[in-house]
Amino acid sequence: MSVAACSSATAGQSAAASAPTATRDTTRDVLYGTPNGAWTSTYAPMRSGIVLIRGATVMTAAGEELTRGDVLIQDGKIAAVGARLEAPSDAEIVNADRRFVTPGIIDTHSHLGVYPSPSTRANSDGNEATNPTTAQVWALHSVWPQDPGFSRALAGGVTTAQLLPGSANLMGGRGITVKLVPARTVQDMMFPDAPMGLKMACGENPKRVYQERGPSTRMGNVAGYRAAFIRAERYRDKWDEWLETREGEPPERDLELETLAEVLRGNVLIHNHCYRADEMVQMINLGVEFGFKVRSFHHAVEAYKIRDYLARDTIAASMWVNWWGFKMEAFDAVSENIALVSQAGAPAILHTDDAIGIQIMNQNAARAMYAGQAAGIPVSRDEALRWITANPAWALGIGDRVGTLEVGKNADLVIWSGDPFSVYTLADQVFIDGALVYDRGLVDMRPVSDFEVGILPAAAGEGGGR
């Protein structure tokens, strides 16, 4: 997204432009895959003031819905949520009468930036399909910040997304969590201190891509995972022994095993593309063998069949509401999938895996809610909202900072024109860390990619606006 198009909003990011300072005592940092701080976040919150949103229906995603509530934003945080709050003398008052306020939407599964728009082979950077296990690659190093999809998602109320590699491989590489702010570099978008994720894939995709060289069967897939983690255990143990004694030279670094060792240590979270119920249980068993736990199964078309397993182990399922039937493993779908998983007590999540679907996540959450209710499953509005806010925040390891409207959390929130579960509702304003980053009523507050400026001058605010 263009820095020029949102100059007032991005003025506070000057600190983020400086390169990290190198240090030499970095052995522990190396284990986290960021030697010398080279790949850490340089995100800095945009400039913000004190804002009081008054008179809205406030949906907190924390169990409470206020029919005429207020939200006070101060220092980029949620300072208060309640009724008839006192406004500080220097606060900007936003009249939200007959409108709704929710936490910012979070997508656990996006390929924005790595498969950007327009779709061209030159910019197709999501699958390193050269080996069945490529845990050494990071989506971070493929993301194109000028992807117009970022601003489209922001206009749909999305404030945070996990950007993942594709699903050609058993282990496709690391994913990163970003805030959808205008930025020149992906580091300027990265959610500070959010854990990285390891993208893994079950089933048909690895079988199809590697059928000539293997794995070509599901048993070959599992053998590939196990072989990789056996090597990772040895690598981790060598490093842990050296860190304990500091005797001699440290072991030689291996980028692939470095990522897998961090999975075994619990510092990198597993996000597992997996459709069939039986295969999800195979992956749960893999975790038992090597001492890790999948954080979220993605797509999880048959999650409803093993919802008791997911609840028992507190494993999330990131699901569609009704995207199915495009291959064999995607056939046994039900529209009540999300509601059934949620009813069982597992962390239920609606995700997209799609540059268009990410723009209407509120509508798809509504479809999933109504599908559950139509089947006799009691789904509250708060529960359905959590499918696109609090639960994905937990799955990404950032639930202590975003996902609900609670005092002390980041002021990432959306003011909607009406009920967010209505197909007629649009995001009026979007705040990230208390800063207004999108305003439907102001052309200058609709971020535009630099890529679009030369070919769509009207969209960049030239020639009379949109």
Round to whole Å and give the CA distance between 300 and 395.
15
Examine residue 140 and state whether it is found in any structural domain, yes or no: yes
Residue 7 lies in a domain: no
Q: How confident is the model at residue 282 (pLDDT cuts 50, 70, 90)?
A: very high
Q: Distance from CA of residue 215 to its chain's centroid?
A: 29
Task: Name the residue type at position 218.
Answer: R
pLDDT (0 to 100) of residue 17 = 44
Q: Write out the H or E segment, with its range, that includes residue 27.
A: helix 27-31
Yes or no: say if 259 and 128 are a contact pair by the CB < 8 Å rule: no
In a domain, 408, yes or no: no
pLDDT for 129: 96
Percent of the chain with pLDDT over 90: 84
CATH code of the domain in which 329 resides: 3.20.20.140
pLDDT band at 31 (very low <50, low <70, confident <90, very high): confident
- Higher pLDDT residue, 1 or 65? 65
Q: What is the residue range of 334's domain?
A: 104-403
Averaged pLDDT for residues 357-383: 98
Cα–Cα distance for residue pair 261/249, rounded to 1 Å: 19
Say if 369 falls within a structural domain: yes
pLDDT of residue 12: 41
Q: From residue 85, give the alpha-carbon distance in Å to each of 94, 99, 367.
A: 13, 17, 34
Give, for 269, the enclosing helix (H) or strand (E). strand 269-274
Beta strands 294-299 and 171-179, pairing class: unpaired
- Check pLDDT > 60 for residue 3: no
Specify the pLDDT at position 26. 59
Report whether pLDDT(226) > 80: yes
For residue 118, say if its preceding peptide bond is cis, omega within 30 degrees of 0: yes
pLDDT of residue 20: 53
pLDDT, tens digit, 9 for 90 and up, residues 88-97: 999 999 999 9
Q: How far apart are CA 337 and CA 334, in angstroms?
A: 6
- What confidence tens digit (pLDDT) does each residue in 330-348 have? 999 999 999 999 999 999 9
Residue 181 domain-assigned? yes
Q: How high is the mean pLDDT of the chain? A: 92
Asked, for residue 16, whether it belongs to a domain, the answer is no
355 in a domain, yes or no? yes
**Structural domains of the chain, count:** 1
pLDDT at 47: 93
Between CA 228 and CA 172 the distance in angstroms is 13
CB neighbourhood size of 407 (10 A):
11
Better-scored residue on pLDDT, 466 or 109: 109
Q: What is the mean pLDDT of residues 231-253?
A: 94
Distance CA 156, CA 342 (A): 24
Q: Is 367 a domain residue? A: yes
Query: To the nearest 10°, the Cα dihedral for 245, 249, 252, 257?
Result: 10
Amino acid at 185: T
Cβ atoms within 10 Å of 130's Cβ, excluding its own: 9
Instruction: Return d(Cα 174, Cα 194) in angstroms, integer.
Output: 12
Lowest mean pLDDT among 11-20, 81-90, 198-207, 270-279: 11-20
Ranges 72-76, 239-243, 278-282, 378-382: which has the least confidence: 239-243
